[in-house]
Structure 1
Amino acid sequence: MKKVLLIFLLMNSASIFSQKTESYKLTKEQISQRELNEIADFPIYKAIEFSDKGGVYDLVFTENQKTISKKDTLNTKIQAICVINDHGGFLEKWRITDLLEDTDPKETSIWFWTKYCSAKDLDGDGYADPVIVYGSKTEDDYTRRVKIITVYKNKKYAIRAVECDLDYCRSFKKDSNWNSLPQKIKTYIDQLVVKLRKEQNLILKDG
């Protein structure tokens, strides 16, 4: 009996220390049930719920859908908002906001690339490290700006890129604090950049 109890305790403690983050996409019905629309300034394009050692979180991606047509939806502003479920309410943990810039060629829309966004535990410490990716396009329908923002311990670390065929107008910059990120996270983002280059036909290089 003692051996069985000891094995149970060891297995239970092991599961606690090896707790993994989990995430899944919320349906429109679930978004409504959780009343997530109340925290958003714009229509919710997509929402995910994820959990880690810190609790259960909801991450919503909102776009203002300035112009909606049969052909396309154009956004001038976007927001990503992360909240934690707190005693039946929401406590905001962080927010990312961006909008169109006055560029040449002119930007016409900005949107989240949710295919590349995630809320995984990248460094194995039991806490999620959300990665937010979004971009803008020009009136010629070319990608103009790309941003990759990693949230580590509620602090943001960004890569900011400007796409251009000519060297002088192209840039790819990492925040000055980038190297303070754990190596596993930096490796994941480096691999994501390679994936974006391949799948979106981007340059994502300096000069």
Structure 2
Amino acid sequence: MKKIFLFLFLITSIFGFSQKVESYRLTKEQIIQRELNEVSDFPIYKAFEYSDKGGVYDLILTENKKIISKKDTLNTKIQAICVMNDHGGFLEKWRINDFLEDYIPKETTIWFWTKYCSTKDLDGDGFIDPVIVYGTRTEYGEIRRVKIITLHNNKKYAIRAVECDLDHCRSFKKDQNLNLLPEKIQVYLDLLIVKLRKEQNLLLTDG
């Protein structure tokens, strides 16, 4: 009987180890080796691999680099794509697309704010909850829009903000279903908003 319990313990330990939640950034060489460039429409800005109870995933952040100069690289479109390796190909789990919008003052670039993105298990359920943050700048170099998208159980939950000095053109909106997220994820997002306000001098509030 003791041998049976020991066997079961070892099997549980092995499977528990295989389901370890972890994440790391891929190097340029790893991106090429995995042929991830075939997945995206635009050049890959950064890519991450993460694993959880659901499997192993590659998260690819791409920007179209519309204007490239010595001073700036300006993007008009971005994509975030999450895939799983599937028998030598890729099975897409989800995708985020966005682009410059027609604002005054004019938006000139859109980019991923990887400093504030994360691939962590935020609620401790054994599954990664990716948080994707990106923004836009105007022709005057000011931040115009900020968007925070959280993925939980492959569903997207968004926070959208428009920065403006005038009350009537400023906004801050959360998806109505955001309050359905586990409390730990909601707390993480609230703290992220506070961090963005403090570090980037943003208002992130309604007019």
TM-score, normalising length from structure 2? Answer: 0.94
Which 10-residue stretch deviates more, 9-18 or 61-70?
9-18
User: Which ranges of 4 or more aligned residues in structure 1 deviate by more than 3 Å?
Assistant: 5-12, 14-20
Whether 2:68 is the aligned partner of 1:68: answer yes
Aligned 8 A contact 1:193 1:204 in 2: yes
Q: Name structure 1 gaps, 5 residues minimum.
A: none
Whether 2:46 is the aligned partner of 1:46: answer yes
Q: Which residue of 2 aligns with 1:124?
A: 124
Task: Name the amino acid aligned to 2:112.
Answer: F
Aligned 8 A contact 1:55 1:85 in 2: no
Once the two structures are TM-superposed, the CA of residue 124 in structure 1 deviates from its matched residue by: 1.1
Q: Which residue of 1 aligns with 2:153?
A: 153
Once the two structures are TM-superposed, the CA of residue 115 in structure 1 deviates from its matched residue by: 1.2
Aligned 8 A contact 1:20 1:121 in 2: no
Distance (Å, rounded) in 1 between the aligned partners of 2:175 and 2:16 = 32
Task: Name the amino acid aligned to 1:10.
Answer: F
| Aligned ranges 1:98-113 → 2 under 5 Å | 98-113=98-113
Which 10-residue stretch deviates more, 17-26 or 61-70?
17-26
Distance (Å, rounded) in 2 between the aligned partners of 1:89 and 1:118 = 25
Please provide the CA RMSD for this pair: 1.7
Q: Which residue of 1 aligns with 2:25?
A: 25
Distance (Å, rounded) in 1 between the aligned partners of 2:23 and 2:62 = 18
SS in 1 for 2:115: helix
Whether 2:26 is the aligned partner of 1:6: answer no
Distance (Å, rounded) in 2 between the aligned partners of 1:135 and 1:180 = 25
What is the percent sequence identity of the aligned residues? 74
Distance (Å, rounded) in 2 between the aligned partners of 1:17 and 1:44 = 33
Once the two structures are TM-superposed, the CA of residue 178 in structure 1 deviates from its matched residue by: 0.9
| Aligned ranges 1:68-87 → 2 under 5 Å | 68-87=68-87
Distance (Å, rounded) in 2 between the aligned partners of 1:9 and 1:194 = 46
Task: Name the amino acid aligned to 1:181.
Answer: L
Once the two structures are TM-superposed, the CA of residue 13 in structure 1 deviates from its matched residue by: 2.5
Once the two structures are TM-superposed, the CA of residue 45 in structure 1 deviates from its matched residue by: 0.3
SS in 2 for 1:115: coil
Distance (Å, rounded) in 2 between the aligned partners of 1:165 and 1:8 = 65
Distance (Å, rounded) in 2 between the aligned partners of 1:199 and 1:15 = 42
1:41-79 residue CA offsets vs partner (Å, 9 max, x unmatched): 000000000000111000000000000000010000000
